[in-house]
A = this chain, B = another copy of it.
Amino acid sequence: MSSTSSDTPTRILQATLKLLEQPDAKLPTMSDIARASGVSRQAVYLHFPSRTEVLVAATRYQDQSNDVNAALAPSRTARSGTERLDAFVTAWGNYIPHIYGVARAILAVVDTDAEAAAAWNTRMADMREGCAAAVQALVDDGSLPERTDPEQATDLLWTLLSVRTWENLTQTCGWDQDCYIDTIRGLALAALAQDTGALTDVLAHTEGRA
């Protein structure tokens, strides 16, 4: 347990995360990673077979450090379906900023690298289970409209909560985090729980944009 953080693979991952979390981060090369880790380029290959694997391992390491499950725990204890939906949107929505640096790097190589795509898909499948659970909670207490297909509802929630959507609103449009959360929550509640009141207060506070 005395993971002193001084073993080389760990140092490489930590250095990689540090690179990726820089605000204007480009995709780091193997040389970048090696330099940042204080290690030779070949040493990186001694521990990771390819750059993609470094990135993928970095995301795993990060999830482990951040303890996603702990962050998402509150949503599992919620009583009603709408409460659970609300809690899940809040928890995940607020988790995104923590992983955005790494997510951006992975997403940048997903189009050209099957392995990165697989890793990202796995991660997103995990998140989708949270969506599915929230939808199921709605079904359980009858909040989900009868004619609505739970599978489709899950797809929609999953899309609303995607990193790309977060990126669009907060990074490109400059919304602040609270505004993003309120809006997505409103949309989700309106679409999945027919809670139209949730939408009326959204998009109202003008100071929420940069």
Give CA–CA (A104, B159) in the complex, Å.
18
Output the nearest chain B residue to A151 by Cβ-Cβ distance: B209
Listed by A's residue number, 12 A-B pairs whose Cβ atoms lie within 8 Å are A149-B203, A149-B204, A149-B209, A152-B175, A155-B175, A158-B168, A186-B191, A187-B190, A191-B199, A191-B202, A191-B203, A194-B196
**Interface residue ranges, A against B (CB under 8 Å):** 26-27, 104, 107-108, 111-112, 145, 147-149, 151-153, 155-156, 158-159, 162, 164-165, 168-169, 173, 175, 179, 183, 186-187, 190-191, 194, 196, 199-204, 206, 208-209
Indicate if the CB atoms of A152 and B108 lie closer than 8 Å.
Answer: no
Q: How far is the CB of A142 from chain B (nearest CB, A)?
A: 15
Apart from A107-B111, A155-B175, what 20 extra A-B contacts exist at CB < 8 Å?
A27-B112, A108-B111, A147-B201, A147-B204, A148-B203, A148-B204, A151-B209, A152-B179, A152-B203, A152-B209, A155-B173, A156-B203, A158-B168, A159-B168, A159-B169, A159-B173, A162-B165, A162-B168, A190-B191, A194-B200
Give CA–CA (A169, B208) in the complex, Å.
28
Q: How far is the CB of A148 from chain B (nearest CB, A)?
A: 5
Q: How far is the CB of A13 from chain B (nearest CB, A)?
A: 21
Give CA–CA (A209, B153) in the complex, Å.
11
- Residues from chain B with a CB closer than 8 A to the CB of A194 are 196, 199-200
- Residues from chain B with a CB closer than 8 A to the CB of A112 are 26-27, 108
Q: Which of B149, B151, B162, B190 contacts A164 (CB 8 A)?
A: B162
- Residues from chain B with a CB closer than 8 A to the CB of A149 are 203-204, 206, 209
Give CA–CA (A169, B190) in the complex, Å.
18
- Residues from chain B with a CB closer than 8 A to the CB of A111 are 27, 104, 107-108
